[in-house]
């Protein structure tokens, strides 16, 4: 079997070392898409003959293909190699409060299938779990993807999740870890994490946080959370729950938050807060994404609401900036369509409440990955776990 080198053993020796090197090559090519043998050897600190031998073995298994040639200032142009896109697939899933999203990508990170549904309620535990169990084999079967070609499934779940234990505490919480049930049902490796942590994983792997050491990633959707990258690594906290930014006290407004407490930042900065403001202004009830779509078309005057929301978010981010001294804040989540316009209000709020030198040393960027950062993070998580040395 082509993927046999994924099997990790406790044995130490030449074969074990080569398998670890092969796993690293797959990870590198998944992230960089194509590399030459000298580039691979530089990343892996291998001699060119050793790197060449490993690449040739992959070619014999039809796992690598020649992708092109690098530009050269002199001499022969080096050949670049890429993963054979049809040799494996990764499934990413997002489970949010009222939406379900599933993507399948090949080894070139090309999306071969997308599915999305708003007819999903994660709070309805039994129905949500049955839907999740059934939809994956149904979709995989409809695409005629052999099970052995699925490297793994990465799932981002809203709420509190312990990635290491595979347990979701806020939703789909059972006697045993959620990953145990899913792996037994689907027969492939399954990994879960909080949706905001995966957003940061996506930014760290493919987006604005690449090659950055200290970053705050903001996930503004129906709720609000952040994920922290510290010294180049995702900071999950002792229990895996770090980043519940939406539930810090920020407003003496007596509004009840979804968490059961009053005055949370999420009651004034979130999709839920936008829905409340829209209903108060129009008397109509709409989900926040539809409100944002109306605002984009000029059919709803949201400027004042979004400006106030942005400034409030900036004020609270100022506290994190003063505490953590990040080099970058990435703004992402479902508010991406209006985030560029909100960015100025956010910067204003930060400038008013953060120490000047800390604020000036921190760049504020809107995610270039759009609403896909969390899904890309799910793919990166699978590769990190399955292909770890």
Asked if 137 and 190 sit in the same domain, the reply is yes
Asked whether residue 48 is assigned to any structural domain, the reply reads yes
Asked whether residue 44 is assigned to any structural domain, the reply reads yes
What stretches in the chain show pLDDT beneath 70?
A: 1-15, 72-75, 389
| Number of other residues whose CB lies within 10 A of the CB of residue 142 | 9
Asked if 79 and 100 sit in the same domain, the reply is no
Among 69, 86, 103, the domain boundary falls at 86
Alpha-carbon distance of 38 to 43, in angstroms, equals 9
Segment (H or E) for 218: strand 215-220
Among 71, 86, 101, the domain boundary falls at 86
pLDDT single digits (tens) 345-375: 999 999 999 999 999 999 999 999 988 999 9
Q: How many domains does the chain have?
A: 3
* CATH code (residue 34): 1.10.10.10
Asked if 248 and 265 touch (Cβ cutoff 8 Å), the reply is yes
Domain carrying residue 243 = 210-368
Q: Which residue matches tokens 């030449």?
A: 14
| Number of other residues whose CB lies within 10 A of the CB of residue 351 | 13
Asked if 13 and 80 sit in the same domain, the reply is yes
Asked if 229 and 333 sit in the same domain, the reply is yes
Q: What is the pLDDT of residue 1?
A: 46
By residue count, the chain amounts to 389
Q: What is the pLDDT of residue 179?
A: 97
Asked if 359 and 215 sit in the same domain, the reply is yes
Among 70, 86, 102, the domain boundary falls at 86
Distance of CA 108 to the CA centre of its chain: 17
- Both structure tokens of 272: 């839920």
Asked if 330 and 230 sit in the same domain, the reply is yes
Q: Which sign, positive or negative, has the C-alpha torsion 132, 135, 137, 140? A: negative
What residues have CB less than 8 Å from 10, skipping those under 6 apart? Answer: none
Asked if 188 and 301 sit in the same domain, the reply is no
Asked if 222 and 364 sit in the same domain, the reply is yes
Asked whether residue 174 is assigned to any structural domain, the reply reads yes
* CATH code (residue 128): 3.30.420.40
- Both structure tokens of 155: 């799932």
Asked if 307 and 336 sit in the same domain, the reply is yes
pLDDT single digits (tens) 283-304: 999 999 999 999 888 888 888 9
Asked whether residue 22 is assigned to any structural domain, the reply reads yes
Asked whether residue 205 is assigned to any structural domain, the reply reads no
Alpha-carbon distance of 104 to 147, in angstroms, equals 13
User: If we measure between CA atoms, which residue out of 386, 371, 374, 370 comes closest to residue 153?
Assistant: 386
Task: State if pTM tops 0.85.
Answer: yes
Asked whether residue 374 is assigned to any structural domain, the reply reads no
Asked if 175 and 239 sit in the same domain, the reply is no
Asked if 44 and 192 sit in the same domain, the reply is no
Asked if 58 and 22 touch (Cβ cutoff 8 Å), the reply is yes
Asked whether residue 216 is assigned to any structural domain, the reply reads yes
Angle between helices 14-32 and 373-386 (to 10 degrees): 170
Question: Any idea what DSSP says for residue 190?
Answer: E
φ, ψ at 34 (rounded to 5°): -150, 140
Asked whether residue 253 is assigned to any structural domain, the reply reads yes
Q: What is the pLDDT of residue 14?
A: 57
Alpha-carbon distance of 221 to 157, in angstroms, equals 13
Asked if 300 and 327 sit in the same domain, the reply is yes
């Amino acid at each position: 079997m082509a993927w046999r080198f994924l099997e990790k053993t406790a044995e130490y020796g030449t074969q074990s070392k080569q398998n670890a090197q092969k796993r690293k090559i797959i990870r590198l090519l998944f992230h960089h898409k194509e590399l030459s043998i000298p580039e691979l050897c530089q990343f892996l600190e291998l001699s060119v003959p050793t790197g060449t031998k490993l690449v040739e073995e992959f070619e014999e298994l039809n796992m690598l293909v020649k992708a092109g040639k690098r530009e050269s200032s002199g001499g022969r142009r080096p050949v670049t190699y890429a993963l054979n896109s049809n040799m494996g697939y990764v499934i990413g899933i997002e489970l949010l409060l009222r939406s379900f999203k599933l993507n399948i990508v090949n080894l070139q990170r090309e999306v071969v299938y997308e599915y999305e549904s708003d007819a999903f309620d994660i709070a309805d535990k039994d129905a949500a779990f049955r839907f999740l169990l059934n939809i994956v084999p149904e979709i995989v079967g409809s695409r005629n993807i052999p099970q052995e070609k699925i490297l793994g499934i990465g799932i981002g779940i809203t709420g509190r999740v312990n990635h290491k234990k595979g347990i979701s505490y806020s939703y789909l919480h059972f006697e045993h870890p959620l990953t145990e049930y899913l792996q037994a049902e689907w027969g492939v490796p399954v990994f879960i994490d909080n949706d905001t942590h995966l957003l940061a994983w996506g930014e760290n792997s493919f987006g604005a946080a690449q090659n950055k050491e200290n970053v705050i990633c903001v996930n503004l959707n129906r709720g609000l959370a952040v994920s922290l990258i510290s010294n180049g690594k995702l900071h999950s906290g002792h229990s895996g729950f770090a980043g519940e930014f939406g539930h810090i006290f920020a407003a003496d407004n007596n509004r009840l938050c979804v968490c059961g407490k009053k005055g949370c930042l999420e009651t004034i900065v979130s999709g839920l807060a936008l829905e409340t403001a829209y209903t108060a202004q129009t008397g109509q009830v709409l989900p926040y994404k539809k409100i944002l779509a109306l605002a984009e078309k000029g059919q709803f005057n949201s400027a004042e609401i979004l400006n106030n929301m942005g400034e409030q978010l900036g004020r609270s981010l100022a506290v994190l900036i003063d505490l953590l001294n990040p080099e970058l804040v990435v703004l992402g989540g479902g508010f991406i369509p209006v985030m560029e316009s909100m960015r100025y209000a956010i910067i204003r709020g930060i400038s008013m409440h953060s120490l000047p030198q800390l604020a000036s040393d921190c760049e504020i960027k809107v995610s270039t990955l759009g609403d896909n950062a969390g899904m890309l993070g799910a793919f990166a998580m699978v590769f990190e776990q399955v292909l770890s040395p």
